[in-house]
Each structure stands twice: as structure tokens, then as C-alpha cells.
Amino acid sequence: MGEVIGVAIAIVVSGVITGLFLKGIDRKLAAYMQSRIGPPIAQPIYDILKLMQKQTIIPATSVRWLFTGAPLIALTSGIVLLLYISLSYICYIIGLQSPVQGDLIVVMYLILIPSIAIISGAFASGSPYAAIGAQREMVIVMSTELPIAVVVLSIAWHVADSMYNPFALQSLFEYTLWHHAGAFGVLGGILLFLTMILVLPAEMSKVPFDQAEAETEIAEGVMVEYSGKFLAFLLLTDAFKALSLSALIVILFFPYTCTDLFGLSFSIGSISIIPLVEIIFFLGKVFIIYSIGVTVIRVIMARMKISQVAKVFLFAVSAISIIGMVLIMLDPKMKMI
């Protein structure tokens, strides 16, 4: 148990640095794709350190306890989300027994908490810009819930054919979505993966789904009245959520370890460095997922209207996920024909 607690602390500490560097790499890669130099990769870390030294201003018209409490709740829930998603997987790849299996239903609820906290803080600020941003954030959150739920149910349906707990993240380490999948199963899995890739930038409020912030329209929207430490907490929450959601997609679709794929063992002399290699391999997959789902999409697309976002997710993305679910359900029967 002591080792697991140590791993949990290491995940939180390294999660701060890794999440901020992930956002820095995202900005640098986007600048490269647009033929710009861009900021340093460590710029998000500099921003947090600078904000922690700035004065925190609380609007006179705000509901003080809710306005000040929302960033703390958002940050805490972001840390819990990262731990809940990644602890069992990190323990798995380094050879430890995790007391937490992870439940996909719980993950769905944990993803909502940071958004709900930010929405509450925005409404409590008393700013009309923040209120508009909060309303838009509510629309985005409600629009993405159905596709996420369909993906979770589809994966649970697949795992239910085995002896494993269908909603446990830990089940996916041994019985992946592609396990014994036929042509229908593979196609269905690809559609579910596409669904999560489209959901990722919406959950992160990135272009083309950044209507809740929209600097040129509503001056940062939900965060317009936040400053100093509270703004730093919200940016840290964003970093934790970016790392958590990217890690979730990796675990759902590509939980394979380097040893599983290549059958290689890594050591320096008599010291095994397999755990270190596996963690680096995992972070590499997280970086690729975030780059595809956030960086590439926001570079090649422009911001949509909020009404368009609702239609995209409630109709197009939901349809893609449902088709994927149907294909996965039909796969066992088609293999018997």
C-alpha cells in the first residue's frame, strides 16, 4: 500500500509538470504548423508562476463564497480525475497491484465536475460576459454527454463477453477493445475512437469548440473575472484535464505496453528499466492523442457557432458513436456466419 501511495503522489506532482508541458508542446506545434515561432514549451509553467504572484481581485458584485470556491473545487476534481484514470494503469505497467480498478461510469461523472465548478464560478462572478460563457459551456457539456455515454456502453458491452468487470478500466488492460475483433468490431472501434477524438477538444474548450471562452467575442467568457491565484488554479485544472482525457483515450483504445507489442526487455546492466520505458511509452501515446485531437483540429478549423456545436454533437457525432456501438454488437454474430 505504501508503494501505491508513493505512485499516487508521483502522479499528482508529475501530472502538474507533464500537463503544463503538454499544453506548451501543443502551442509550439500549432505555431510550427502555422509557420510561426511560437512561445517556449515551458511558457505555461512561467504563466502559472507569474499568476501565483499577482493580486487576486474579487468582483464586488460576485457571490464571494461560490466565486472563490469554484476554482478550488475545479482543481481538486481535476487532480482526482487524473488519479482515478491513471493510477491503476500506471500500477499495471510498473508491476504493482492497484487498490483502484477504475469505473467508467464514475469517470463520466468526474469529467463533469470541473466544468460544473467553472460554470458555477462564472455565474457567481456577476459578469454578463461570464454568464454568456457559462451558458455556452452548459450547452457543450450537455451535447458531449451522449457520445461519451455511447462509447462507454459500447466498450462495456464488448468486455461483458469476458470474465472481467465490464465497466472497470482495469479490465481493458487484459481484454482490449480490439481483442478477438472481426471486421465489424474493428470498424466499430475506429468510429468510437473518432468520437472520442472529436469530444476531446470540446471538453478542453479548444477551437472549434471554444465558444465558452471566445476571447474576441466575450473576453474569455467563463474566466473573464478571475485573476491571480484563482486564474492559476483554473489553468492548472485545464492542464490536469488535458492529461486525464488524453490518458483515458489511450487506456480505452491503446492500453498496450511496449513489452506487449514488441516483447523487448530493457535494462542497464542488471537493473531493469522496464517501468521507466513503459511510462515514457505511455506519455508518448498521450502526446500523440492530444496532438491529433486538439492541436491539429484547432489549427485546421475555425470557431463554430454554439448552435452548430450542439447540432454537431447531438446529431453527427452521436450518430457516429451509435453506428460504432451497433457494429461492435453485431461483430460476434457476423463472425459466426
State mean pLDDT over 221-240. Answer: 88
Is the model's pLDDT at 193 over the cut of 90? yes
pLDDT at 203: 86
Exposed/middle/buried for residue 299 (C-beta within 10 Å: 0-12, 13-18, 19+): middle
pLDDT, residue 299, reads 87
Question: HSE (CB half, 13 Å, CA atoms) of 206?
Answer: 27
pLDDT reported for residue 34: 86
Does the pLDDT value for residue 188 go beyond 80? yes
What integer is the mean pLDDT of 294-318? 87
pLDDT above 70: percentage of residues in the chain: 94
pLDDT over threshold 80, residue 179: no
pLDDT-derived band at 269, boundaries 50, 70, 90: low
- Average pLDDT (213-221) is 74
Q: Which domain holds residue 134?
A: 2-336
pLDDT at 250: 92
Q: What is the mean pLDDT of the chain?
A: 86
Does 218 score more than 90 pLDDT?
no
Number of domains in the chain: 1
pLDDT confidence of residue 270: 66
Task: Inform me whether the pLDDT recorded for 3 exceeds 80.
Answer: no
Give the three-class secondary structure for 91: helix
B/e letters for 148-160, b = 16+ CB within 10 Å, e = fewer, are bebbbbbbbebbe
Q: Return contacts of 50-56, CB within 8 angstroms, 24+ apart.
A: 51/227, 51/228, 51/229, 51/231, 51/232, 51/235, 52/228, 52/229, 52/232, 54/227, 54/228, 54/229, 55/227, 55/228, 56/227, 56/228, 56/229, 56/230
Of 309 and 336, the one with more pLDDT: 309
Using CA of residue 222, residue 108, residue 199, residue 149, what is the dihedral sign? negative
Element (H, E) at 271: strand 271-272
Does residue 149 register a pLDDT over 80? yes
The whole-number average pLDDT for the span 155-161 is 80
Closest CA to 196 of 83, 318, 299: 318
This prediction has a pTM of 0.91
294, 200 contact by CB (below 8 A): yes
Cα(159)–Cα(166) distance, rounded to whole angstroms? 5
Q: How confident is the model at residue 334 (pLDDT cuts 50, 70, 90)?
A: low
pLDDT tens sequence across 278-294: 888 889 999 999 999 88
- Is the pLDDT reported for residue 168 higher than 70? yes
Q: How confident is the model at residue 1 (pLDDT cuts 50, 70, 90)?
A: low
Q: What is the pLDDT of residues 47-76, one digit of tens each?
A: 999 998 888 888 888 888 888 999 999 999
Nearest to 74 by CA among 24, 25, 124: 124
Which of 19, 5, 17 lies closest to 247, judged by CA? Answer: 19
Taking residues 83-109, report their average pLDDT: 83
